[in-house]
Amino acid sequence: MRNRRKNNHISKIDRMVVTMCEGSQDIGVPAIIYVKENAKAALAKKLSELNCQIKYELNLINAVCAVIDPKAVDTLAREEAVLYIAGDTDAKAYMDVAKKAVCGNNQTNRGENVTVAVIDTGVYPHRDLTYRRNRIVGFKDFVNNRQIPYDDSGHGSHCCGIIAGDGTSSRGKYIGIAPDANIIALKALDGSGMGSASDILAAMDWVYNNAEAKNISIVSLSFGAGINPYSRYDPLANAAEKLWDKGLVVVAAAGNEGPSLSTIGTPGASGRIITVGCSDDKRTVPLTDDTIADFSSRGPSAYAKLKPDVVAPGTEIVSLSNNGGYATLSGTSMSAPMVAGCCALLKARNPNMTNNEIKKTIMSSAVSLGRPYNEQGRGTISMRDMNIM
């Protein structure tokens, strides 16, 4: 019994961290350290004493992101204030007709006065977001710390256009779901669509701390990371659920690892938030020929028996590029902002709707494609028969 107590600190170290320390004796190991309430200041002092570099302090999940000296991990785990040391995982972006399939032809509700935070690769100040009125109402760069909106990938701009592009440059042909909605772009992924969990968590923390001041009601997440089955904590899922607890609508892509079962990544694996798989609309407006895209990740997820919640068009979607034109992309990355845009329409029509009510409405409006739940959720998103347009 004495030895078990003595070595209890070992259970506080994620296996990923242990592996990284074994292979990086002379290189700092990025980690996310969960701490007890009101203990971040004490931990910061200890990290400084151990020559570990703090990257972010996160109110959202009461944690500190830091680069740890491999020789200091064991000492840190023995600190009473430390609850768990998780790995700072890599995350990646999940790479006309669809608009009509989702919303129909007659739309008077355009998502006005609703702000959507998009955590991705940034946003290009495209005419479809800025010409009539600059609806990029905020930008924060966690990768290069630049001040002016940009997108060195194009992925984030594409997602923003699906949500809120107004079709200015295409004379209304390529128009987003909620073309009067506002966008706050948080750049946490680099030009290749890759990013660290710590940068993403810092962006989510920023949303948590600024939601009221910036009037944010919806968060769109078109990225994901693999789930560590040995970890007691999942920082990305934890953070998404904290945003949900704050009252925000959080929409996440299921991932592009299908057609195998149990391939949904984090944070989409969370049972609380809205997780979106990809349907193929065959470039036709009727839903009768829609299928589930082969690449769309399937449930069940690690944290919920049934996932995704719904699917939405995500194959060959034309939206904004980062050079002022348009681009065609496919993936659950495109499906998630489709649903985020629909959530913006619901919020615009009824600002008092809670996130749980919006999720229930989104799911109850879906049209079944006759596939198992862990492929299609409730079915493909459809707002055409709802009294919100």
**To 10 degrees, what angle do helices 235-245 and 197-214 make?**
10
- What pLDDT does 63 receive? 95
**How many whole angstroms separate alpha carbon 98 and alpha carbon 101?**
5
Kindly tell me the burial class for residue 282, based on how many C-beta atoms sit within 10 Å of its own C-beta (0-12, 13-18, 19 or more): middle
Pairing mode, strands 115-120 and 182-187: parallel
pLDDT along the chain (389 residues), means of 10: 57 89 78 94 91 93 94 92 94 67 68 96 98 97 98 97 96 93 98 96 98 98 89 92 98 95 96 95 71 94 93 94 95 96 95 97 94 96 65
The answer to whether position 389 is within a domain reads: no
- Of the candidates 88, 108, 129, which is a domain's last residue? 88
Report the 10 Å Cβ neighbour count for 3.
7
Asked if residues 21 and 29 have their Cβ atoms less than 8 Å apart, the reply is: yes
- Of the candidates 68, 88, 108, which is a domain's last residue? 88
Kindly tell me the burial class for residue 364, based on how many C-beta atoms sit within 10 Å of its own C-beta (0-12, 13-18, 19 or more): exposed
- What pLDDT does 320 receive? 97
Full residue range of the structural domain in which residue 66 is found: 2-88
**How many whole angstroms separate alpha carbon 173 and alpha carbon 40?**
51
Q: Which of 177, 31, 136, 152 minimizes the C-alpha distance to 93?
A: 152
Asked if residues 184 and 115 have their Cβ atoms less than 8 Å apart, the reply is: yes
For residue 29, the domain's CATH number is 3.30.70.80
- What pLDDT does 7 receive? 62
pTM, rounded to two decimals: 0.92
At 299 the three-state DSSP class reads coil
The number of residues in the chain equals 389
- Of the candidates 53, 88, 123, which is a domain's last residue? 88
The answer to whether position 383 is within a domain reads: no
Q: Are residues 162 and 285 in the same domain?
A: yes
The two tokens of residue 143 are 């990768």
In the chain, the amino acid numbered 157 is: S
The answer to whether position 385 is within a domain reads: no
Q: Give the largest CA-CA distance in the chain.
A: 74
Phi and psi of 249, rounded to 5°? -85, 120
**How many whole angstroms separate alpha carbon 207 and alpha carbon 189?**
16
The answer to whether position 225 is within a domain reads: yes
How far from 334 is each of 17, 62, 114, 171, 305, CA to CA, in Å? Answer: 33, 31, 20, 22, 24
Write down the H helix ranges in 9-87: 15-23, 40-49, 73-77
- What pLDDT does 1 receive? 36
Indicate the number of domains in the chain: 2
**How many whole angstroms separate alpha carbon 232 and alpha carbon 278?**
29
Q: Are residues 249 and 100 in the same domain?
A: yes
Q: Are residues 52 and 96 in the same domain?
A: no
For residue 359, the domain's CATH number is 3.40.50.200
Q: Which residues are catalytic?
A: 120, 155, 333
